[in-house]
Each structure stands twice: as structure tokens, then as C-alpha cells.
Amino acid sequence: MKPLLAALFVFCAHTAPSFADQAEIKRVTARETGSGWSFDVTISHPDTGWDHYADGWSVHAPDGSELGFRKLAHPHENEQPFTRSLSGVQIPDGVTEVTIRARDSVHGWSDDSYLVRLK
């Protein structure tokens, strides 16, 4: 393994119970690369088509600032759960954990979040 590739890790800490029809993060894998961090996020949501679907997820620093955003361009009603990636996320020095949040086109940001500890 190359020294710049520090494969990382998945840790779940839901901050609130899931509510019906909100996007739910099932799994996150994070790894450091030469161009920043790469995140693979698995989301479950009962997409019904263009009127109600999971439409994005974001990476947040402990202070709440957004470090990256992945727009989801279409519904995934026949692919559940589904995984999408975001690379090149710059994590500030000293930050050892980030929070991932998902949203959908009807409810906005989910009440649930997913904590990822970076090593």
C-alpha cells in the first residue's frame, strides 16, 4: 500500500432516531489519498421517483462547517440501498472526525447523522 493511501474506517453514531421517509445513511467508508479524502456513502431511502428521492449528502467538520457535498442527480427507486462517492475532500489539520448527513427532496436534511472517525 502506498504511504499516502491511509485507508480508513467506518464508525456509526446516529444522533437521533430515523424518521419515516427521511434519507438514512447505512455505511460510510473514508480513505485518505494524495488529493484529499474520499468518502463512499451508502444511503437508504424509499425513493418514489422525481417527486421524492434522496438528493444529496454532505461531510461536516466538528464545528459544523461543510467540507464537501455530493449532489444525487436522480431517484434510485430500483437501487436500494445505494452507494455514491465523493473525492478530494480537504480535511483541516487536527480534525479527527467528521459527520455525514443526507437529505431528500421533500424533508430536506435528515434528523440522523453518521459520525466517521478519521485515522
Q: Which of 4-8, 61-65, 87-91 has the lowest mean pLDDT?
A: 4-8
For residue 71, the Cα-to-chain-centroid distance in whole angstroms is 11
Topology given in CATH for the domain delimited by 6-117: Immunoglobulin-like (2.60.40)
Residue with cell 436500494: 80
6-46 confidence digits (pLDDT tens)? 444 444 444 443 445 888 899 999 999 989 999 999 999 87
What is this structure's pTM?
A: 0.80
Under 8 Å between Cβ of 23 and 54: yes
Kindly give the residue spans of alpha helices, DSSP state H, lying in 1-119: none
Q: Please give the Cα distance from 54 to 107 (Å, whole number).
A: 10
Mean pLDDT score, 89-105: 95
Task: State the cell numbers at 51.
Answer: 417527486
